[in-house]
Amino acid sequence: MTRTGLMYHPIYLMHETHDHPERKERLTAIMERVKRDGLDVEVITPQPATVDQVATIHSRRYIDQVRAISEHGGGYLDIDTVVSRDSYQAALMAAGGDIAAVDAVQSGFDTAFALVRPPGHHAMPNRGMGFCIFNNVAIGARHAQARGLEKVLIVDWDVHHGNGTQAVFYEDRSVLYFSTHQFPHYPGTGRLSEVGDGDGRGYTVNVPLPSGTDDSGYLAAYREILLPIALEFKPDVVMVSAGHDPDRSDPLGGMKLTAKGFGALAGLVKSIADQCCQGRLVATLEGGYSIEAQAEDVVAELLAFQGEVPEVTGGTGMQLDGRLKEVKKVQSAYWKCFQ
């Protein structure tokens, strides 16, 4: 049986946002559903990330800015991104959740899921945006490398492109960043022509998907694009930015994924981890604003990590087929699997 760790801390609920899509009920619903369904997981309480660990990704000036806003009672990093009195400590603990998840998969756990907030994949080195304060998965990736896992695959299936994660690793060939996202959509980045730069050219893989993409369409993108590239890259650890706003009921997205689809994607990335890096797989919570649907999606993913992978059938349609061919053509300059 696969051993799965669940990183959680009650301080995540103290990041107070008030009448905001990114609210604490996102986490309480997941934890209640995990308990109700009797999932075989071990809850692990993380430690907060240190400032030095956060500074592997973010400037100290920005870290100080977040702390100052929080200590002065709260404010905004941008029009969408709230900082409350406890947000700085919650954000340190969110990054700590990813760090603890990396440690877990190096010390007896096969998979780990960091159920954290605030989320992170929009957070840039010098600023927060899109509900995100510190880039949790990026901080976790650097921690993995510090622990000897040199090659990191980050898979991002949030409905929004992870512009922050892409920016951090855009010139870094040690981190392969793969993103599927609704396009056009916030934040406007993630074109298939964005492939990295310098030494990192070819190590950013964007698959912009049309609105309305469903389970079979998503799975086709992952089977046809991610799987061959990942097996060629051979990561030492697989990390997932697990956003659930591609769910068909999400109020901020326009996709048609179901819990079965999320489970299928989770099963596919687990198969990559099994083939490449002894099953080491870390997921972290990103977006997802339909409270009950997100809880169902997370449960499906956790079950898939443990081997209960749902079957998805159906076609993709001409528009998506054309898009996948475009991605393969662009990426054929960098990956032998498409040449």
Q: How far apart are CA 300 and CA 78, in angstroms?
A: 33
DSSP string, 300-335: HHHHHHTT-PPP------HHHHHHHHHHHHHHTTT-
Compute the CA torsion angle 22, 306, 272, 269 (nearest 10 deg).
-20
Contacts of 3 (CB under 8 A, 6+ apart): 42, 108, 109, 110, 111
Q: How far apart are CA 329 and CA 314, in angstroms?
A: 24
- Active-site residue, 160 included: no
Measure CA 289 to chain center: 15
- Residue 21: Cβ within 10 Å count: 16
Q: Which of 122, 143, 181, 185 is catalytic?
A: 122
Q: How far apart are CA 153 and CA 232, in angstroms?
A: 11
Compute the CA torsion angle 290, 292, 297, 303 (nearest 10 deg).
160
Of 288, 265, 280, nearest in space to 218 by CA? 265
- Which residue has 């990026």 as its token pair? 138
Query: Burial, 315: exposed, middle or buried (Cβ in 10 Å; 0-12, 13-18, 19+)?
Result: exposed
| Phi and psi torsions of 78, nearest 5° | -155, -175
With beta carbons less than 8 A apart as the criterion, state whether 114 and 5 touch.
no
Catalytic residues: 122
